[in-house]
Amino acid sequence: MPIIVPIKNDENHQITITLDNEVFKLRFLYSDLNDSWCFDIYNQDNDPLLTNIRLVPNFPLIKQYVNTGLPKGDFVCDGNINTASITRDSFSKNGFQILYLTEAEIGAI
């Protein structure tokens, strides 16, 4: 079962989450200029693993990056397939959520 990543309606926030038995810190940032969200992934020691990942709907977000420290699965912004972008209110009003899928869950799709 995918993990729902708790995202706040806050333009700049960080959460700590355990994925695949490892602790990660995710920082979410909203840009007024681009009307878009991005996020960064840090390990538990606050070392950046991947930064400035743009949140786009219904597409794997980290699959194309190679970094041994990254979570083994992938993140997906799940929501209305007819929407081309994630905007300021997509999580609070438009029903979007960020899911983390394990390697096994990705393989089963």
pLDDT tens by residue, 42-97: 999 999 999 999 998 888 999 888 877 999 999 999 876 566 678 888 887 777 89
Q: Residue 67: exposed, middle, or buried by beta-carbon count in 10 A (0-12, 13-18, 19+)?
A: exposed
Q: What is the pTM of this model?
A: 0.89
Going edge to edge, which strands form the sheet with 74-78? 3-5, 97-101, 74-78
Confidence band, pLDDT 50/70/90 cuts, at residue 109: low
As a whole number, mean pLDDT of residues 8-37 equals 92
pLDDT value for 28: 95
